[in-house]
Amino acid sequence: MLVVGCYRRISIHQTVKESRAMSKVVLITGASSGMGREAALQLAAQGHRVYAGARRLDRMADLEEHGITPVELDVSKSEDNERAVKQVIDSEGRVDVLINNAGFGLYGPVEDVSLEDARYQFEVNLFGLAHLTQLVLPHMREQGGGRIVNISSMGGRVFTPFGAWYHATKHALEGWSDCLRFETKPFNIDVVLIEPGGVRTEFAEVMGTQIIGSSPDSAYKSQLEPFQRMMQDPRMATRGTDAKVLAEVYVEAATADKPRRRYVKGYLARPALMVRKWLGDGVYEAMMRRALR
């Protein structure tokens, strides 16, 4: 009986140890709402140790109930990036997955959008995540592997009207990620891209408001007005894919033994990519103009 009892205690101890070894340490940005928040919840539910970053801690306070550690993090600020990575390393001794989810869409005519605003778009959508990636890579190399999951968009391969600066950041992220994947492969570090389509978040509503605010007297008014109406149409929100569905893709990209290089998911993503790829730019652009009419 004593031998059996001892065996059972060892088995339980080994099970806990193995379970902890299988769980991953994940740092995810832009986790206060939408896909980032849902992904953080799903990863924590699977037993992973999740650090959820966003600019406003108050919007993530309830995540602690799910075993998630909120981290104040504005990816456009170098000191925030450095502090966040240090917090994860000091607490866990490693970082297995970085999910670069933070981002926003700046929409408006190229002529009207200030270069200052355009630079900030790049700071958040590209340079901020690039700095955060640079900070975690040495730790991933030292520990023998890791994974970078970059949230791009179907807009990284197609375009929508008045989104020049937003699409520029996502097209840049696509090429940047492909190069990074090649560089980090020898170190057992995977680089994965996720290209969401339309999702049920406040993105479209905010986009429409930003256009209204930035170009009230624009020379492009006749083109802007139908685009704004389309973005603010309540039906747009219902057509999008639920954020929880996209979060499932985040989880797969972060935890699969052999992840894909790219994941495409969400409303209109695959059809839009296929039209441009197989029918060409002329047909794709004609469809965009027809949609605005």
Q: Among all residues, which ones are annotated catalytic?
A: 166
Give the list of residues 6+ apart from residue 22 with CB closer than 8 angstroms, or none: 47
Q: Residue length, the chain?
A: 293
The residue written with tokens 């193995």 in the block is 18
Lookup: tokens for 153: 């968009």
The residue written with tokens 């057992």 in the block is 188
Cβ atoms 101, 35 nearer than 8 A: yes
Q: Report how far residue 35's alpha carbon sits from residue 20's, in angstroms, rounded to the nearest whole number.
A: 25
Cβ atoms 264, 273 nearer than 8 A: yes
Cβ atoms 32, 10 nearer than 8 A: no
Q: How many CB atoms lie within 10 A of CB 206?
A: 14
Residue type, 266: G
Count CA atoms within 13 Å of residue 17 on its CB side: 6
Cβ atoms 48, 68 nearer than 8 A: no
Q: How many CB atoms lie within 10 A of CB 43?
A: 26
| Residue 149, beta-bridge partner list | 99, 192
Three-state DSSP class for 228?
helix
Exposure class string for 15-31: b at 16+ Cβ within 10 A, else e: eeeeeeeebbbbbbbbb
